[in-house]
Amino acid sequence: MLRRLWISPAVGLLLLGCSTTTELKTRITHPPVELLTAKPLIVQPTDPESESAADLVRQLLQENGYVIRQDTEVTGALLEAFGTPQVQPNGDSALLRVRARLSAPKHSSRLDSRQVSLTSCNYLREQDPCDSRRATLRVATHTVTRQGSVEMTLEEAGRPPRTLTTDYTAATHGVVPALPAGEVLQQMRQALQRLLGDALKRQEEVATGMEVDRLAADMIALGLYEAATVRLQDHESDLATRLYALGYIEEQRRDLSGAVRYYREGVLSGEHVELFDAAIARI
């Protein structure tokens, strides 16, 4: 089936432009080393203070392929109008209770000083128009710090409860500092990523050793897959490199059958056979 591809004039000029090359680097996603659970999860905060942490946990697990079911206790009030107190999960599920704590802000200050030179000039004077003198500049730097912790307890039938805990620190510095909620959430997310570690997908950048058109590589990195495909077909003369790059594009678009087709053609080309075999094996 033919597909109509619309490309803006600016992109069209780029596609027709001169070609320089760079090494083709691919970003490969590896599955979790050990699943937190194979069952669908209900993520439940233990109290209102833990709701933000529970939202982060849900988001992080969903991004890594876990099935998250609706929290039956939190949604109860929303469902009252429909004559049911809660949504009952279909089938077996695991319950992940999330408890988060955040300390009160801790303030500290540090006074720094350094020598500076102050100059004043009057260019109406014919001689020595500038006068200089040494001075001491004193700056007070204030720091706001908050300590946080997250505890997760996994409960599933037939297994003892499993508890995971992590701590984190969020801090900001300045003359009049303020600690935004976004900084706390960012540090909490990083702590959760470290805590869950092997239970999450892992990304790895792989150098292929292939030289590819630089503009096509930039388009792939930006997710401009249609434009990159056109650029590769018009400017990439090396068959093995073109096939591997096109296969990688289809892999990123989740068209796995299309990716395998390109990789198999690459094997038949007789070049970089091990690289093509590894790509087929990971799919």
pLDDT score of 107: 87
Residue 1 in any domain: the answer is: no
Q: Which of 176, 200, 224 is the last residue of a domain?
A: 200
Residue 163 in any domain: the answer is: yes
pTM: 0.65
153 and 84 in a common domain:
yes
Q: How many domains does the chain have?
A: 2
Query: Residue 168: which CATH number?
Result: 3.30.160.150
Q: What would the pLDDT profile of 207-240 be if each residue is shown by its tens digit?
A: 888 999 999 999 999 999 999 999 999 888 899 9
Q: Which domain holds residue 253?
A: 13-31+203-282
Q: What would the pLDDT profile of 85-144 be if each residue is shown by its tens digit?
A: 445 555 688 999 999 999 999 988 888 888 989 899 988 888 888 989 998 888 888 888
188 and 230 in a common domain:
no
161 and 24 in a common domain:
no
176 and 50 in a common domain:
yes
Q: Is 237 exposed, middle or buried (0-12, 13-18, 19+ CB in 10 A)?
A: exposed
Query: Residue 223: which CATH number?
Result: 1.25.40
pLDDT score of 192: 96
212 and 166 in a common domain:
no
Residue 232 in any domain: the answer is: yes
Q: Which of 152, 184, 200 is the last residue of a domain?
A: 200
Distance of CA 26 to the CA centre of its chain: 16
Q: What distance in Å separates the CA atoms of residue 138 and residue 7, rounded to the nearest whole number?
A: 57
237 and 166 in a common domain:
no
* 34-43, 74-83, 170-179, 242-251: segment of lowest average pLDDT: 74-83
210 and 153 in a common domain:
no
Long-range contacts of the stretch 122-125 (C-beta < 8 A, 24+): none
245 and 153 in a common domain:
no
26 and 57 in a common domain:
no
* Torsions phi, psi for 215 (to 5 deg): -65, -40
